[in-house]
Amino acid sequence: MNPIKNEYIIEGYSVQFPYDAYKCQINYMQKVLYSLKHKKHALLESPTGTGKTLCLLASTLAFQKHFLINHGSLKKPIENSSYPGVIKSEGGSIELVGIPRTNVENSKETKTNMLIPRIIYSSRTHSQLSQVMRELKSSGISDGFTIELFDSEAENKAKIEKSSSKKRPIIKGGKKLFKATILGSRDQLCVHPRISKFRGNTLIKNCRKITKEGKCKYHNNLKQANISGVAADIRDIEDLKSIASSSDSGYFCPFYATREIENICNVVLLPYNYLLDSITRQNLKIDLTNTILILDEAHNVESVSEEAYSFGLRDIDLALSQKAIQNILEATKLGLLQEKESDDKDSEVDISFDIEVAVALATGIHLLSRNLKEIQCPVPSNNNGSKFKSFPKMGEVQGVTYPGSHIYSLFASSGFGIDNFQAMDECLTNMINFGQNLVGPGGNVSSQLDVNSVQINARIGALERFQRCLRLTFNETVMKNPQWFKLYIHYEPDNYKEINGFDENGDQNSVIDPETPEQGMSLYLSFWCFSAAAALSSLVSAGVRSMIITSGTLSPLDTLAQQFSSSNLSFDVFLENDHVIDSESQLWAVTLEKGNSTNNTQLIGSYEARNNPSYFSALGSVVFDCVKRIPDGVLLFFGSYSLMDQAVKYWTDQGLIERIKAFKSIFIEPRNSFELGSVLDSYMDCIKKGVDSSSQSDGFFKEKKTKNSLTDFVFKSKRISSSGSLLIAVCRGKVSEGINFSDNACRGVIIAGLPFPSIADARVCLKKQYMDESKMDGRQWYNQQAIRAVNQAIGRVVRHRNDYGAIILADKRFNQPNIYTRLSKWIRTNTKHLPQLDSRQLDNISDFFEKKLYVGTPGATTQSSEANCNKEAYTKPLTNNVSGNKTFYARNPSVVSFPNLTNEINTLLKQVDNKSSIKDDFKEENSNAMNATNIPKPFPGLVSKVSIPWKRVKTSSPGSESPNATLWTFSSSKNGSSNLENQKRTNFNIVPFEKINYQQVLNASKELLREDEFNRLKPYIQDLSQVNSSSLRSIANILLPNHIMEEKELNERKSLALELLKLLSNKYREEFRTIIEKILSNIDMMNDKALVDALKNEL
């Protein structure tokens, strides 16, 4: 069944959408379609949870489908065209023909415009792309791409056509025109039982070897397998690997299969580093002519783009490269080259090379090494005989800096130029191929060479790095825009030597003399790109029609557009989207300047804070107060690992960690990414199992305590359950990006400090300098790096329409306009600025989660999936250029029904009564209709009795003549009342109003309430004219906190609430009555559920 239920006309395009679209989703798709329609490039920010992926797919496919239909009707000019990549007509059927990688760049613009715009959807990781593929499949938005769009009788007329390219056949099948694939590396896609166990270059080398020898059945079966179905049936990487390794499909290689079908796909998914790196893109032969290019999760695009066009070359790399060429030339002299050529006649890899060019390369590398060493570059001195200084002073650069254009002078003086680049690049490629083949089976190297496999691999690796440097240096974009680059020559401690143990010969276990500055130090040639425009503009030059850069955290868009733009690339479409959530009811967000009332130290998590115990004490008080009140999962993000380590150490020494463990299990983000998985699993397990303070089991602080079910009952009867997890992490770490902490996995995010890049990093200093030289504010860029990382971390808390949580920005600097105004729109428009968290604000946190835990979020059933968040339609009218057939629904208040636990508790109490160990304790209570259950020792200090709510003494009705009549009634199950009565067993009945003085209520409040409660209530009573919905909820929560379990005190507080109700205006009386009823119902439900749990545990 087709899941599509809505069609929207946006910018003249018919958009199929599986849900009722929210206003923010309509806005988003409108921006996308406007960009595609007018061939514009866009920067679009839309918060996580707004259905961004689905909107991107729906809008771009609508545009592609529209293009397909319109050009399908132009049969006469197109059907006789030999130009590949257009829709061809044959026998009345319409077929989508693939776009071979040749004869495209020289085409005329008119022919290019007839190409069907292919969608290339890129994201940061393969896991994110797999999620996109699942979204594409489950949404059904691609189901309309069938031949019936053009000819209802053409169902059986589609066929397999052969491409003009011998290497890339065009694979077609069935009536479905829509095809999609996901491109990955061999690491992700290899299914060979033995080869797939390798990683990186080792996997590549072994893969090429067995495919060349015809020993891989998966590669051998590629032509016989029905891989057209791979494209027609949308599959993610795991599904693809499962099918490819199944005998039902005849076995095939998914790595090569996806590259075979990539030509004919409507949508191609791949990581965006494949696109931004020009060398990788060239190797993959990705054609971008007339493509719609999406860069999703693009908050890292700036750094990834700059890194893709940067390189670093060390003196040891140059030495190893010379050794590699020497070994290869020696092998040639010994005749090993001819031997290899005879063995590899059918090899697709060319291992022959020009010896003269090889000698010229070796000479040039030697000259480059000598020229580098002649540069007067300061060598860092020893630090009292200890490790070398790895960082310069703040804001200083240790080394020599040149403009980017100087790289060409340096290379020219060493014999490298654009005139001989092609010959040298070809020679390097063939020498690298030959060098890799010098290592035979079992890692053996010919005994005629005085070198082992470890040495030859190290040397060939250095030669590959040198080739990359040449390719980037003589890249067309780089040569035309040297102003985007800087050349930096400097010394650094050689971690490569320390870790890998290689010296300049590629030998291991070399000894380094720590007393000699030059030893243990490498001379670096760093060629750094400082503009993402280098990578992005090259994509446009390759033929991209429209580029959509999008993420949940891109702000500020204006400065980002300035950084990304170039002579052939400008961004004209912008969007800073609203969130789908109701921020007032689903978000509790504050900025803080100081700790709590006991520690007024300012919260400034700067570099200097590392040596300030008062700061860690103040921050610890905030964290402790918050984790006590925020349920389930809480994420605490620091600005750096060093600050995180210092805080954890201080809190451990001061005993704060032990206090936090009474409420949360504690986990620390590991520095090694391979350890993160197990930490996250344990973090989630503690949340799912409801681990409480009396049973801690976590991945960092391990301690076991005995558990008593009645103690558990008391804790669960508190305002917020003392279970869950606290994960301490850093901004820009793995936890802050790309992990879905939806629902209970994250109910609160605390940001401690601002994650500014290290000003001691030479690259950061030079970037700021570059920004200032380019008339872009370097300081502003520096601030933006921190804010973007904060926005990304904050995004963990709300992941879909019905999600909710708290955000605490625990640093005074968040109040500064240049920082605060750069936060994402949905955050800054709903954040309160507070000096500190006083008792009233802490109660507000508890109240916020109380309502969510026991009343629920407005809307239908919670949907964790970002795509399935559309359960409630927006009520604002569509804009002029948007129309749809959707039905508008008014927002109705949620109806809360509580389970009837009467029978279950009666049964459990009887079962407990039958246990001999506690039979005598319950005997008397059972004979008196079990009005209360005594808690046995050793817990008499916690609470003396646990009330059974439906067994409370029935009070007099509102019309009673008794002067002491209680104005609250509770329905009883004793007389067989209905389920509906049990579900609504707490009713707030109102008697006729009489004039009352507010001073009487104030006096009664002072007598009944605790001092802190009275002090919080007093301002409200004294100024009831300023009351609103928010203050009504605060008043109700002060009067009726959930921890009140004694029947007498609860009735007294209810009576006080009724007296206060009489003082309210007619406008707010009914609302206040409803709030009180809900709170009382919540108390009943909470106690019932907790008692059931306690009794079950007793049994």
Q: Where are the domains of the chain?
A: 310-531, 585-854, 930-1098
State the pLDDT at residue 1032. Answer: 85
pLDDT tens-digit map of 616-675: 999 999 999 999 999 999 999 999 999 999 999 999 999 999 999 988 999 999 988 778
As a whole number of angstroms, the distance between CA 298 and CA 215 comes to: 41
Please report which helix (H) or strand (E) contains residue 121, including its range. strand 119-123
As a whole number of angstroms, the distance between CA 959 and CA 805 comes to: 44
Average pLDDT value for residue range 484-493: 92
In degrees and rounded to multiples of 5, residue 39 shows phi and psi of 55, 50
Evaluate if residue 182 carries a pLDDT over 60.
yes
State the pLDDT at residue 10. Answer: 94
State the pLDDT at residue 4. Answer: 66
Please report which helix (H) or strand (E) contains residue 311, including its range. strand 311-314
Share of the chain above pLDDT 70, in %: 67
Write the DSSP string, 179-243: -EEE---HHHH---TTGGG--HHHHHHHHHHHHHTT--HHHHTTTTS-THHHHHS---HHHHHHH
Q: Letter for the amino acid at 904?
A: E
Q: Letter for the amino acid at 926?
A: N
Let me know: does 4 contact 17? Beta carbons within 8 Å: yes
Q: Is the dihedral of CA 390, 395, 400, 403 positive or negative?
A: positive
Confidence at 262, pLDDT banded by 50, 70, 90: confident
Confidence at 292, pLDDT banded by 50, 70, 90: very high
As a whole number of angstroms, the distance between CA 85 and CA 457 comes to: 42
Give one word for 385, left, alpha or beta, with left for phi > 0 and alpha for psi -120 to 50.
left
State the pLDDT at residue 915. Answer: 57
State the pLDDT at residue 940. Answer: 31
pLDDT tens-digit map of 710-732: 444 434 334 344 478 999 999 99
State the pLDDT at residue 838. Answer: 87
Q: How many of the other CB atoms lie within 10 Å of CB of 891?
A: 12
* Average pLDDT along the chain: 74
State the pLDDT at residue 46. Answer: 93
Which of 883, 878, 866 is closest to 55 using CA atoms? 866
Evaluate if residue 82 carries a pLDDT over 60.
no
pLDDT tens-digit map of 853-863: 655 444 333 33
Average pLDDT value for residue range 465-478: 96
CATH number of the structural domain 585-854: 3.40.50.300
Which of 365, 388, 366, 375 is closest to 494 using CA atoms? 388
Evaluate if residue 1078 carries a pLDDT over 80.
no
As a whole number of angstroms, the distance between CA 970 and CA 957 comes to: 10
Confidence at 740, pLDDT banded by 50, 70, 90: confident
3-state secondary structure 525-543: EEEEECCCHHHHHHHHHCC
pLDDT tens-digit map of 803-846: 999 999 999 999 998 898 888 888 888 899 999 988 889 888 98
Which residue's entry shows tokens 């390219």? 165
Evaluate if residue 988 carries a pLDDT over 50.
no
Q: CA geometry: angle at 408 spanning 407 and 409, to 5°?
A: 95
Let me know: does 15 contact 9? Beta carbons within 8 Å: yes
As a whole number of angstroms, the distance between CA 1013 and CA 698 comes to: 36
Q: How many of the other CB atoms lie within 10 Å of CB of 690?
A: 17
Q: CA geometry: angle at 817 spanning 811 and 821, to 5°?
A: 95
Evaluate if residue 782 carries a pLDDT over 50.
yes
968 vs 7, residue with greater confidence:
7
State the pLDDT at residue 720. Answer: 45
State the pLDDT at residue 712. Answer: 41
697 vs 518, residue with greater confidence:
518
Sheet containing 180-182: order of strands: 180-182, 267-271, 119-123, 292-295, 546-551, 42-45, 573-576
452 secondary structure, DSSP code = -
State the pLDDT at residue 242. Answer: 79
State the pLDDT at residue 1069. Answer: 82
Let me know: does 857 contact 611? Beta carbons within 8 Å: no
Q: How many of the other CB atoms lie within 10 Å of CB of 274?
A: 18
In degrees and rounded to multiples of 5, residue 301 shows phi and psi of -60, -35
State the pLDDT at residue 1045. Answer: 63
Q: Distance between alpha carbon 14 and the CA centroid of its chain, in Å?
A: 31
As a whole number of angstroms, the distance between CA 24 and CA 619 comes to: 36
Please report which helix (H) or strand (E) contains residue 847, including its range. helix 839-854
State the pLDDT at residue 805. Answer: 94
Which residue's entry shows tokens 């005629």? 448
Which of 105, 244, 264, 252 is closest to 169 using CA atoms? 264
As a whole number of angstroms, the distance between CA 505 and CA 321 comes to: 10
Average pLDDT value for residue range 305-330: 94
Residue 522 in 3-state DSSP? strand
690 vs 922, residue with greater confidence:
690
Q: Which of 16-20, 221-225, 296-300, 487-491 comes out lowest in average pLDDT?
A: 221-225
As a whole number of angstroms, the distance between CA 532 and CA 563 comes to: 7
Treating both helix axes as pointing N-terminal to C-terminal, what angle do 418-437 and 336-343 enclose, rounded to 10 degrees? 80
As a whole number of angstroms, the distance between CA 621 and CA 44 comes to: 38
Q: Where are the beta strands (DSSP E) in 477-581?
A: 485-493, 521-529, 546-551, 573-576
State the pLDDT at residue 206. Answer: 82
Best-predicted range by mean pLDDT among 368-382, 506-520, 633-647, 705-719? 633-647
Average pLDDT value for residue range 844-850: 88
Average pLDDT value for residue range 374-387: 66
Which of 237, 238, 248, 241 is closest to 192 using CA atoms? 241
Q: Letter for the amino acid at 1056?
A: L
Q: Distance between alpha carbon 572 and the CA centroid of its chain, in Å?
A: 27
Q: CA geometry: angle at 525 spanning 523 and 526, to 5°?
A: 125
Q: How far apart are the first and last CA of the chain?
A: 48
State the pLDDT at residue 699. Answer: 42
Residue 60 in 3-state DSSP? helix
Q: Distance between alpha carbon 426 and the CA centroid of its chain, in Å?
A: 40
As a whole number of angstroms, the distance between CA 469 and CA 487 comes to: 13
Q: Which of 879-883, 959-963, 1003-1007 comes out lowest in average pLDDT?
A: 959-963
Average pLDDT value for residue range 480-489: 96
Evaluate if residue 505 carries a pLDDT over 60.
no
State the pLDDT at residue 354. Answer: 87
Which of 250, 79, 262 is closest to 169 using CA atoms? 262
